[in-house]
A and B are shown apart, each in its own frame.
Chain A
Amino acid sequence: MSDRHPMTGNEMSGSEPGGLERHQYDVVVVGAGGAGLRAAIAAHDAGARTAIVCKSLLGKAHTVMAEGGIAAAMGNRWPEDNWEVHFRDTMRGGKMLNNWRMAQLHAQEAPERVMELEDWGALFDRTEDGLISQRDFGGHKYARLAHVGDRTGLEMIRTLQQRAVALGIDVFMECTVTELLKDGSGSIAGAFAYWRETGRFVVFEAPSVVLATGGIGKSFKVTSNSWEYTGDGHALALRAGASLINMEFVQFHPTGMVWPPSVKGLLVTESVRGDGGILKNSDGKRFMFDYIPEFFKAETADTIEEADRWYDDKKNNRRPPELLPRDEVARAINSEIKAGRGSPHGGIFLDIASRRTPDYIRKRLPSMYHQFKELADVDITQEPMEIGPTCHYVMGGIEVDPDTELAAVPGLYAVGECSGGMHGSNRLGGNSLSDLLVFGRRAGEAAAARADSMGQSRPTVRDDDVRAAQASALAPFDVEGDENPYAIQHDLQQSMNDLVGIIRTRGELEQSLQEIEKLKERAKRMTVEGHRQYNPGWHLAIDLRNMLLVSECIAKAALAREESRGGHTRDDFPQTDHEVWGTKNLVCNVDATGAGIDLSEKPLPVMPDELKKYFD
Chain B
Amino acid sequence: MASTDARETATGSTGVHGPTRARIEAKTLRQDRWWLMPLATFIVFSGFIVFATYRAFAGDHFYAEPYLSPFYSPCLTDSCVAGSSDFGQPLSWWSLSPALVILIFPLGFRLTCYYYRKAYYRAFWLSPPACAVAEPHTKYTGETRFPLILQNIHRYFWYAAVVVALILTYDAVLAFGPAPGESDGIHMGLGTVLMVANVVLIWLYTLSCHSCRHITGGRLRHFSKHPVRYKMWTFVSKLNARHAAYAWYSLFSVAIVDFYIYLLATGTIDDPRFF
The residues of A with any CB-CB pair to B shorter than 8 Å are 3, 5, 11-12
Tell whether, in the assembled complex, residue A5 and residue B1 are in contact, meaning their CB atoms are under 8 Å apart: yes
Q: In the complex the two chains form, is B20's CB within 8 Å of A12's CB?
A: yes
Q: Which chain A residue shows the least CB distance to B7?
A: A12
Q: List 5 A-B contacts (CB under 8 A).
A: A3-B3, A5-B1, A12-B3, A12-B4, A12-B20
CA distance A3 to B2 in the complex (A): 8
Hey, what's the 0/1 contact readout for B1-17 against A, CB within 8 Å counting as 1?
11110010000000000
Query: CA–CA, A516 to B20, complex, Å?
Result: 44
* CA A5 to CA B2, docked complex, whole Å: 9
Cβ contacts under 8 Å, B4 to chain A: 12
In whole angstroms, what is the CA distance A453 to B144 when docked?
54
When distances are taken between beta carbons in the complex, the residues of chain B under 8 Å from A5 are 1
Q: Looking at B3, B7, B20, which has the most chain A CB atoms within 10 Å of its CB?
A: B3
Which B residues are CB-close (under 8 A) to A11?
3
Task: Name the A residues within 8 Å of B7 (CB-CB).
Answer: 12
Known: A3-B3, A12-B4, A12-B20. 5 other contacts (CB 8 A): A3-B2, A5-B1, A11-B3, A12-B3, A12-B7
CB within 8 Å of A: which B1-50 residues: 1-4, 7, 20
Range of interface residues on chain B? under 10
Least CB separation from B4: chain A residue: A12
Give chain A nearest CB distance to B3 CB in angstroms.
Answer: 7
Majority secondary structure of chain B interface residues (helix, strand, loop or mixed):
helix
Measured CB to CB, the closest approach of chain B to A597, in angstroms, equals 45
List the 6 closest pairs (A to B, CB-CB), nearest first. Answer: A5-B1, A3-B3, A3-B2, A12-B3, A11-B3, A12-B20
Question: Measured between alpha carbons, how far is A3 from B1 in the docked complex, in Å?
Answer: 8
Task: Return A614 CB to nearest CB of chain B, in Å.
Answer: 40
Q: Inside 8 A of B1's CB, which chain A residues have their CB? A: 5
Q: Which residues of A contact B2 (CB under 8 A)?
A: 3
The residue in chain A whose Cβ has the minimal distance to the Cβ of B1 is A5
Chain B: which residue is nearest A130 at the CB level? B224
Which residues of B lie under 8 Å from residue A12 when comparing CB positions?
Answer: 3-4, 7, 20
List, in ascending order, chain A residues with CB within 8 A of B3's CB.
3, 11-12
| Interchain nearest-CB distance for B6 vs A (Å) | 11
Q: B167: shortest Cβ distance to chain A, in Å? A: 40
In whole angstroms, how far apart are the Cα atoms of A371 and B182 in the complex? 64
User: Which residues of chain B are near A3, meaning CB under 8 Å?
Assistant: 2-3
Question: Considering the chains assembled together, what is the distance between the CA atoms of A12 and B6 in angstroms?
Answer: 12
Bound Cα distance from A5 to B3, whole angstroms: 10
Closest CB in chain B relative to A132 CB, distance in Å: 16
Complex: how many Å from CA A11 to CA B2?
10
With the chains together, A3 CA to B20 CA distance in Å?
Answer: 18
Query: How far, in angstroms, from A539 to B25 measured CA to CA in the complex?
Result: 31
CB distance from A5 to the nearest CB of B (A): 6
Q: Considering the chains assembled together, what is the distance between the CA atoms of A400 and B1 in angstroms?
A: 40
Chain B minimum-CB-distance residue to A7: B1
A12 CA to B7 CA in the complex, in Å? 11
Kindly state the separation between the CA atoms of A5 and B1 in the bound complex, as whole angstroms. 6
A536 vs B39: C-alpha distance in the bound complex, in angstroms? 44
In the assembled complex, the Cα of A122 lies from the Cα of B3 at a distance in Å of 35
* Bound CA span A134–B3, Å: 49
A11 to B4, CA, bound (A): 9
Q: Which residue of A lies closest to B20 (CB)?
A: A12
Q: How far is the CB of A611 from chain B (nearest CB, A)?
A: 42
B2 to A, closest residue via Cβ: A3
CA–CA, A3 and B4, complex, Å: 11
Min CB distance B50 to A, Å, is 44
Q: How far is the CB of A218 from chain B (nearest CB, A)?
A: 29
In Å, the complex CA distance between A220 and B237 comes to 47
**How close is A44's CB to chain B, nearest CB, in angstroms?**
23
Chain A: minimal CB distance from B56 (Å): 47
Cα(A12)–Cα(B20), bound, Å: 9
Closest to B224 in A: A130
**Cα(A36)–Cα(B7), bound, Å:** 35
Q: How far is the CB of A517 from chain B (nearest CB, A)?
A: 44
Min CB distance, A544 to chain B, in Å? 30
Nearest Cβ on chain A to B177's Cβ, whole angstroms: 46
Cα separation A572 to B83 with both chains bound (whole Å)? 99
Give min CB distance, B155 to chain A, whole Å. 29
Per the bound structure, the CA–CA distance linking A11 and B7 in Å amounts to 12
What 0/1 readout, one digit per residue, does chain B (74-97) give for beta carbons within 8 Å of chain A? Answer: 000000000000000000000000
CA distance A12 to B19 in the complex (A): 12
Cα A428 to Cα B196 with chains together (Å): 62
What is the CA–CA distance of A402 and B4 in the complex, to the nearest angstrom? 46
Distance in Å: Cβ of A297 to nearest Cβ of chain B: 44
Minimal beta-carbon separation of A127 from chain B (angstroms): 13
* Nearest CB on B from A124, distance (A): 16
CA A3 – CA B3 in complex, angstroms? Answer: 8
Q: What is the CA–CA distance of A221 and B7 in the complex, to the nearest angstrom?
A: 44
**How far does the Cβ of A598 sit from chain B's closest Cβ, in whole Å?**
49
B4, B7, B20 pick with most chain A CB within 10 angstroms: B4
In whole angstroms, what is the CA distance A295 to B178 when docked? 86
Select from chain B the residue with minimum beta-carbon distance to A126. Answer: B224
Chain A proximity mask over B147-190: 1 for CB below 8 Å, otherwise 0: 00000000000000000000000000000000000000000000
Q: Closest Cβ of chain B: how far from A128's Cβ, in Å?
A: 11
CB proximity of A180 to chain B, nearest CB, Å? 31
- Please report the C-alpha to C-alpha distance between residue A473 and residue B256 in the assembled complex, in whole angstroms: 74
Bound Cα distance from A12 to B2, whole angstroms: 12
Give chain A nearest CB distance to B97 CB in angstroms: 53
Q: How far is the CA of A12 from the CA of B4 in the complex (A)?
A: 9
Residues of A within 8 A of B20 (CB): 12
Complexed CA–CA distance, A113 and B2 (Å): 39
CA distance A611 to B20 in the complex (A): 62
Would you give the shortest CB distance from A133 to chain B, in whole angstroms?
A: 15
Q: How far is the CA of A151 from the CA of B4 in the complex (A)?
A: 36
A5–B4 CA distance with the chains assembled, in angstroms:
10
Interface string of B210-229 (1 = CB under 8 A from A): 00000000000000000000
Bound CA span A80–B14, Å: 63
B238 nearest CB across to chain A (Å): 15
